[in-house]
């Protein structure tokens, strides 16, 4: 077994175990930590493919920014443990079979495809190529996306802002 294969297997096992943990664990913070573990091991998988830049971005954006907000919100709301429910009839008779079918199909397709796991030779200008694509060839969609995000941000601000003169909604706080 080559070292590359070994690293891949370990990282893949950690990623899958983390992903299962996200669903199985009952406390939101534990699930969030598991999700961070998944992100980090995905970054490790990118590293084994010699995509250093993508790996760093994966950690900075997902583990470092998005998940911090998740954890922050969970802490702020002081969310307690989730309770396990019995599956609804819909989930039991439709969801489970469909899930199994999807899993089988994915396994079949991945098994049939001839994917090679060999790393492409590291390209020193990978960042250069990526930024040329992002800021030269596809600059219009890129800017459009950022404006879209800006609009969403402003919308959230407007919705969250209390109206001038409107009384604070006490009863909602008490209910929450």
Partner 1 sequence: MASILLVSLIKVAVLLFFVLTAVAYLVWFERKVAAHLQGRWGPYRVGPHGLLQPLADGAKFLLKEDVTPSSVDRFVYFIAPLVTMTLAISAIAMIPFGPAEIRIFGVSTPLVVANINIGLLAIFAITSVGVYGVALAGWSSNSKYSLLGGLRSSAQMVSYELSLTLSVVGVLLLAGSFNLSELITRQGGFSWGFLPQWNLFSPPFPQVLGFVCYFISAIAETNRAPFDLAEAESEIVAGYHTEYSSFKFAMFFLGEYASMITVACLATILFLGGWLSPFPQTAGLYWTHYIPSAVLALAGIGLIIDGVLYRQAFGRVVLPVLGLVVCALSFLCTRPGVIDGIQGPFWFLAKILFVLFVYVWVRWTLPRFRYDQLMRFGWKFLFPLALANVVLTSLAVVMRK
Binding residues for partner 1, per CB under 8 A? 27, 29-30, 33, 36, 40, 43, 52-53, 56-57, 59-60, 63-65, 68-69, 71-72, 75-76, 78, 122, 124, 127
Tell the smallest beta-carbon distance from residue 149 to partner 1 (Å).
15
Tell the smallest beta-carbon distance from residue 129 to partner 1 (Å).
13
Q: Residue 70 in contact with residue 55, Cβ under 8 Å?
A: no
Tell the smallest beta-carbon distance from residue 34 to partner 1 (Å).
11
The residue (of 19 and 33) whose beta carbon lies closer to partner 1 is 33
Q: Residue 42 in contact with residue 61, Cβ under 8 Å?
A: no
End-to-end CA distance of the chain: 55
Tell the smallest beta-carbon distance from residue 114 to partner 1 (Å).
29
156-163 long-range CB contacts below 8 Å, 24 or more apart?
A: none
Tell the smallest beta-carbon distance from residue 167 to partner 1 (Å).
23
The residue (of 24 and 68) whose beta carbon lies closer to partner 1 is 68
The residue (of 78 and 116) whose beta carbon lies closer to partner 1 is 78
The residue (of 30 and 86) whose beta carbon lies closer to partner 1 is 30
Residue 41: exposure state from Cβ atoms within 10 A (0-12, 13-18, ≥19): buried
The residue (of 115 and 157) whose beta carbon lies closer to partner 1 is 157
φ/ψ of residue 44, rounded to 5? -60, -40
Structure token digits, residue 176: 């929450």
The region that residue 50 occupies, defined by phi over 0 for left and psi between -120 and 50 for alpha, beta otherwise, is left
CA 113 to the chain's CA centroid = 25
């Amino acid at each position: 077994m080559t070292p590359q294969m070994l690293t891949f297997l370990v990282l893949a096992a950690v990623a899958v175990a983390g992903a299962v943990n996200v669903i199985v664990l009952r406390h939101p913070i534990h699930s969030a930590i598991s999700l961070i573990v998944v992100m980090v091991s995905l970054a490790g998988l990118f590293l084994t493919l010699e995509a250093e830049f993508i790996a760093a971005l994966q950690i900075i954006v997902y583990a470092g920014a998005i998940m911090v907000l998740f954890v922050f919100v969970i802490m702020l709301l002081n969310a307690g443990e989730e309770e396990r429910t019995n599956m609804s009839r819909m989930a039991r008779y439709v969801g489970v079979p469909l899930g199994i079918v999807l899993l089988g199909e994915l396994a079949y397709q991945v098994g049939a495809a001839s994917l090679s796991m060999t790393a492409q030779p590291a390209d020193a200008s990978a960042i250069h190529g990526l930024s040329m694509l992002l800021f030269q060839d596809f600059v219009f969609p890129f800017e459009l996306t950022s404006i879209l995000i800006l609009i969403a941000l402003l919308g959230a601000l407007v919705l969250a802002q209390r109206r001038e003169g409107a009384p604070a909604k006490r009863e909602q706080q008490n209910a929450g």
